[in-house]
């Protein structure tokens, strides 16, 4: 019987495992799912934007055994979410709060909510000049 007793063996058989087999190994504790995430929020004044990427990989004995190139799923973050993150970071990270206070002349700046999206400006259709 072939024993899957090392990360190298798991990597070798990974392409041949079904989703059901992986689920069984997760259920019995042999494989440990690990979620990975990256977030890149940006703010300029009241303009908040950013994205996040998430993926799941599987570990055996603390080493990743699912493919190294597991796909990342991209998510565009809502401005209101990034605003909340900015407020939390300013509250929790004392070095950031101190720098914000210093840059704002000694008082904590108001982290204002996102501006509503700009309404599209209606444009008049172009009309040809008389005589053209």
Give 25-84 pLDDT, tens digit per residue: 999 999 999 999 999 999 988 999 999 999 999 999 999 999 888 889 999 999 999 999
pTM over 0.85: no
Mean of all residue pLDDT scores within the chain: 90
CA distance 46 to 112: 6
Q: Which residues of 16-37 are buried (b: 16+ CB within 10 A; e: fewer)?
A: ebeeeebeebeeeeebeeeeee
Give 77-121 pLDDT, tens digit per residue: 999 999 999 999 999 999 999 999 999 999 999 999 998 876 766
């Amino acid at each position: 019987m072939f024993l899957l007793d090392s990360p190298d063996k798991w990597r070798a058989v990974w392409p041949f495992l079904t989703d059901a087999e992986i689920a069984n190994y997760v259920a019995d504790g042999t494989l440990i799912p690990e979620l990975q995430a990256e977030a890149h929020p940006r703010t300029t004044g009241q303009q908040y934007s950013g994205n996040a990427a998430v993926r799941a990989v599987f570990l055996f004995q603390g080493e990743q055994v699912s493919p190294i190139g597991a796909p990342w799923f991209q998510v565009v973050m809502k401005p209101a979410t990034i605003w909340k993150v900015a407020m939390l970071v300013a509250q929790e990270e004392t070095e950031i709060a101190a720098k914000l206070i210093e840059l704002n002349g000694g008082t904590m700046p108001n982290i204002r909510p996102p501006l509503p999206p700009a309404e599209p400006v209606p444009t008049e259709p172009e009309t040809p000049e008389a005589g053209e």
